[in-house]
Every structure is written in C-alpha cells, then in structure tokens.
Amino acid sequence: MVQNSPQPPPLEEQQPQKPPEPLPKSSQDDELDEELRKLLIPDVRDLPFAPPSAVETNFVSYFAPDFMKEGHDQYVYRHANGLCVIGLAPTHIAFKDSSGITAVDFNVGKSDRSSFKVTGKRKKNAQFFEPNSAICKVCTKDASYIVRCSVKGSLLEVNDRLMKQPELLKNVAHREGYIAIVMPKPADWVKVKESLLSLEEYKRLREV
C-alpha cells in the first residue's frame, strides 16, 4: 500500500520569512563612507564664487610692471606648450587716460609688425624679438604708449583686429584684446621668468 507524502500547508498558512538583518557597520566603514561623500559632494563653502575663466584654466599669468617706463604694466600669459600671449595689464597707464584708446598702430620701428606672416610648423618667417623690442603703439587723444615684447622669442602673431577695433583693449584686454603671441626658447623663458611677477605678487604690488 502506497503512503501519500505529506503535503505543504496552504499558502495562507505559511509564515512569511523575515529578511536577514544587515550586519552592523564598523566605525571604519562609517569613516570610509564619510570620506567618499566628501569627494563626491564638495562643500559649497569651498566652491569659488565664479567658475575659472579660460585664461585661468589654460594659462599661467605673469606680469611685467613698469616695463621700460613707469606705468607701462604688461601681462604675459604662458600656455603649457610654451606660447606666450602679450598684452596690457589692467593697471597700464593707457587705461587711465580719460580720452580713451583711439588707435593701435603696429607700424613701429623699421617695419610694420602686422605685415609679418608666419607659416608652417617651423614658423617660417617668424621674426626674433628682444624683450625691449617695440610691437605696437597704443594711442589716445592726447598721448601714445609703446608696447614692447617683454619676452625674448619669435613673434608669431599680432592681433591686427585692434587696428579696426581698438576698443577691444579697453573692454577685453585679457582676451580678444591681446597684443601679440610670442614663442620663447625654453632657456630664454627661464631667464625672463625671473624678472616677472606672479598674479599674486602683481595684485599685492598694485593693490588690486
């Protein structure tokens, strides 16, 4: 005679199983979680008031105050590839002229700097300039100011837009209003860097 195997109780009579309780976390785990949270979610008090500009992100800022003449403050923005962008610092004396900047003339020295055309990877036709070489003349209604290379190297480009739009110097001198781009040799850059101020040193000097 075949005996019937015991049948499981009906579903409604089955007792629900409790999920396993989580293991207690150690204090070390809590510390790791806290460190991870700090990395992923920065403290709002540590964030800058505004995001960094393209200049701050891609260049290191240097300054040549009173370059060759009192009040002739210039900046040198150096890219990681060695290129140096030359321009007028915010405290340049030309910006203090109440008549405003009216013209930018690259026809200085013995040649017109805006006529230089550099081509190819080897920068053919690039002119080699000394730090005191004149690049252009910035004019106001009552005066004119010579802007110099401030870095020893090859002049790759001048910003000829300034000839038609001199107001770029006043409005965006640190961006579209730059004066020129120069490529110094590594050894020459090491020497000239010693004569330049960092951004922090420049701010302390000019109290800006």
Query: 111: number of CA atoms within 13 Å, CB side?
Result: 8
Q: Give me the pLDDT at residue 72, please.
A: 97
Q: Give me the pLDDT at residue 68, please.
A: 94
CATH number of 56-206: 2.40.50.100
3-state DSSP: the chain helix, strand, coil percent, rounded to 5? Answer: 30, 25, 45
Beta bridge partners of 76: 62, 86
Per-residue pLDDT tens for 32-45?
A: 667 776 666 656 66
Q: Is 112 helix (H, G, I), strand (E, B) or coil?
A: strand
- Rounded CA-CA distance 97/37 in Å is 53
Mean pLDDT of each 10-residue bin along the chain, 208 residues long: 59 61 61 68 59 70 96 95 95 91 90 74 76 95 94 93 92 92 95 95 94
Q: Where are the domains of the chain?
A: 56-206
- 200 Rama class: left (phi>0) / alpha (psi -120 to 50) / beta: alpha
Q: Give me the pLDDT at residue 124, please.
A: 64
Burial class (CB in 10 A: 0-12, 13-18, 19+), 38: exposed
Q: In angstroms, what CA-CA distances link 20 with 11, 17, 81, 136?
A: 21, 9, 59, 79
Query: Which residue shows structure tokens 């230089």?
Result: 116
Beta bridge partners of 182: 84, 155
Per-residue pLDDT tens for 170-207?
A: 889 888 999 999 999 999 999 999 999 999 999 999 99
Alpha helices in the chain (DSSP H): 27-40, 54-58, 161-164, 167-172, 186-193, 199-206
Query: Which residue shows structure tokens 């109290």?
Result: 207
Q: Give me the pLDDT at residue 179, please.
A: 95
Closest CA to 86 of 23, 169, 166, 30: 169
Q: Give me the pLDDT at residue 184, please.
A: 95
Q: Give me the pLDDT at residue 11, please.
A: 54
- 120 Rama class: left (phi>0) / alpha (psi -120 to 50) / beta: left
Closest CA to 95 of 74, 68, 109, 77: 74
Give pTM, 2 decimals: 0.71
